[in-house]
Structure 1
Amino acid sequence: MKYPIVVGVDGSPSALQAVRWAAEEAKRRGVPLRLVNVYSTPIGLPGGIVEPAVVQKALNDQGKLWLNEARQVAHEVSGELRPQLVLMTASVVPALVKESLNASLLVLGTRGLGGFTGLLIGSTAVLLAGRVHCPMVVVRGTEPVQGPVVVGVDGTPKSEAAVAFAFAEASLHGTDLVAVHTWADTAVDTVLLGHPEPPDFEPAQQRAYETLAERLAGWQEKYPDVHVAREVVRDHPSRALLRYAGKARLVVVGTRGRGGFQGLVLGSTGQHLLHHAPCPVVVVHTEPDHQE
């Protein structure tokens, strides 16, 4: 846990907000803060009009300026922080994946400029979330909320890493943990649509409660200071988690779940939260099973 918190910096207001969040966490955890700007020279510059060396220097100077702005934001949070400033020429996703090898958290904003433009839109977010070696935090929302930590529990061992992270965060912040497990039987709903007798979902709901209890077993004993609210909801995971995220400090999801594909490990729920959650979203990567 003495690995630094790494923040992607690109000069955007969103990135500076991510720096502020990361600085608070670095101060709380007693770990270093590492601010990283990644840039690459645009391809296809018209020859003879703009010299590549000129563009390279401009990008380098701009990166230094952005890193200094980010350092100032970190100092505003805590004058004791001495952030490490890193400026590199590389492709963004591989560079951040490499940074995550020796990081406790990788922190990003929701929108960006320069090398981070579009980073959290579409497939790039999925690729990054599936490759990083530490929890990835996307700082959403404008003001920090002193609410609970919310974790999505999908009912499989794949969510174990997310549950572990969520318990540790709730304990660190001295706040409650809300564990959300959703269930639905779409096939039964379709068959019984318009049926005069209301279906009996009580057995399925009871199984869902039992599944959630199994996934939380042991963690309550490890973190006796954390009060856990167990929520079983008959709804789509994205909608359910968004409702709870409205009053949350942060929401935690895993990169894999039921029906997950190896090539798109973030899943639709995680992607939806990255785009719409009103609070920071933590994506915790789960290593694939050996047989996969």
Structure 2
Amino acid sequence: MEPAKTSVVVGVDGSASALSAVRLATREASQRGSDLRIIHVLAWPLVPLDVAATPQIPYAAMLADAEYLLAEALTVAAVTDPAVSATTEMTSGNPAAVLLDAARGTDLVVVGKRGRGGFAGLLLGSVAVQVVTHSTAPVLVARGEGHPAAPVVLGLDDAIASAPAVREAFAAACRRNADLLAVHVLDDTALLATTFASTPASGVATPGTQAHSRVLADAHALFPGVPVRTDTMSGNPGRLLIQLSELAQLMVVGARGCGGFSGLLLGSVSQQLLHHAACPVLVVHR
């Protein structure tokens, strides 16, 4: 019996960012051989209401708008790659909760950086933040435009590399026929008592790099055809990875670095990338 086909989930709300997410999700589904599920959450009150008793609420107009934007998203997916099997779903409730529920049992969730209901000053919408923080599946945030010929960049920001994030980075590079650049950034604020300068410091031997080497070797054994290069740098991790994102087609990070508080599911470096990266960012939980 053939294994069940996997799926990629993308949330849409009619914003330009959501349509960018649809294009990215379609390409991901094509590379993975997956189906695409396009989900829209109707902006409807969470408490039950009698529609007949509240005629001032334009339910019919809201429904028509939702059907239109789902049709638009389906068209965008078809134009991006007509070979991808895409379906649309409309539901009501809390958008983040709906996407988090859809994430269970799926390979990937794709979200736009900010919905049409977001405040202009927010660099990443609240729904995207909630989904990235709590999803059980990897989450891909549609940011910028990755360079197709550029490498996939893996950020290693703690002493014990996240094995799931490393494997996802190798798999992403393999699907894209791309090189993988694995970067370990030593925070220069933690090196004030050393002689390291806040400049690229390739080859610096630390306990972290030894642990990284083991995890990278294990993942490379699964994807031996992926060309991989490692680099150790010192400086501000978020700033350096954001700079690298300008010359990458995808950034991959774990959900939380060792510098975060145990109650925080998303580390500061991941947060900086999600708000400022110049290319899509894939966040993988441990």
TM-score by length of 1: 0.83
Cα drift, residue 117 of structure 1:
6.8
Distance in 2 (alpha carbons) for counterparts of 1:158 and 1:120 = 28
Query: AA paired with 1:160?
Result: A
* Paired residues for 1:109-188 under 5 Å: 109-114=112-117, 121=124, 125-142=128-145, 144-157=147-160, 159-184=162-187, 186=189
SS of 2:256's equivalent in the other structure is coil
Instruction: Indicate if the aligned counterparts of 1:250 and 1:281 stay in contact, CA closer than 8 A.
Output: yes
**Larger-Rg structure:** 1
Residue aligning to 1:250: 250
Change (3 A) 1:125 1:71: closer
* Paired residues for 1:18-29 under 5 Å: 18-29=21-32
Distance in 2 (alpha carbons) for counterparts of 1:97 and 1:120 = 21
Instruction: Indicate if the aligned counterparts of 1:110 and 1:138 stay in contact, CA closer than 8 A.
Output: yes
Instruction: Indicate if the aligned counterparts of 2:39 and 2:88 stay in contact, CA closer than 8 A.
Output: yes
Identity %, equivalent residues: 38
* Paired residues for 1:103-114 under 5 Å: 103-114=106-117
Cα drift, residue 143 of structure 1:
6.0
Distance in 1 (alpha carbons) for counterparts of 2:236 and 2:174 = 28
Which range moved further: 205-214 or 102-111?
205-214
| Gaps in structure 2 of 5+ consecutive residues | 48-52
Off by >4 Å, runs of 4+ in structure 1: 116-120, 122-126
| Gaps in structure 1 of 5+ consecutive residues | 45-49, 193-198, 287-292
Distance in 2 (alpha carbons) for counterparts of 1:122 and 1:107 = 13
Distance in 2 (alpha carbons) for counterparts of 1:108 and 1:16 = 10
The structure 2 residue matched to 1:55, chosen from 55, 58, 65, is 58
2:119 is equivalent to residue 80 of structure 1: no
Change (3 A) 1:158 1:200: closer
Query: AA paired with 1:279?
Result: C
2:229 is equivalent to residue 229 of structure 1: yes
Q: Deviations over 1:249-288 (max 9, x none)?
A: 10001112113234321111111111111100001111xx
Residue aligning to 2:204: 205
Instruction: Indicate if the aligned counterparts of 2:155 and 2:252 stay in contact, CA closer than 8 A.
Output: yes
Residue aligning to 2:50: none
Residue aligning to 1:5: 8
Pairwise CA RMSD: 2.9
Residue aligning to 1:218: 218
Residue aligning to 2:283: 283
The total of aligned residue pairs comes to 274
Instruction: Indicate if the aligned counterparts of 2:43 and 2:92 stay in contact, CA closer than 8 A.
Output: yes
Distance in 2 (alpha carbons) for counterparts of 1:54 and 1:7 = 28
Change (3 A) 1:221 1:187: closer
Distance in 2 (alpha carbons) for counterparts of 1:133 and 1:126 = 14
Residue aligning to 1:238: 238
Instruction: Indicate if the aligned counterparts of 2:96 and 2:128 stay in contact, CA closer than 8 A.
Output: no
Instruction: Indicate if the aligned counterparts of 2:159 and 2:209 stay in contact, CA closer than 8 A.
Output: no
Cα drift, residue 23 of structure 1:
1.1
2:73 is equivalent to residue 70 of structure 1: yes
Residue aligning to 1:47: none
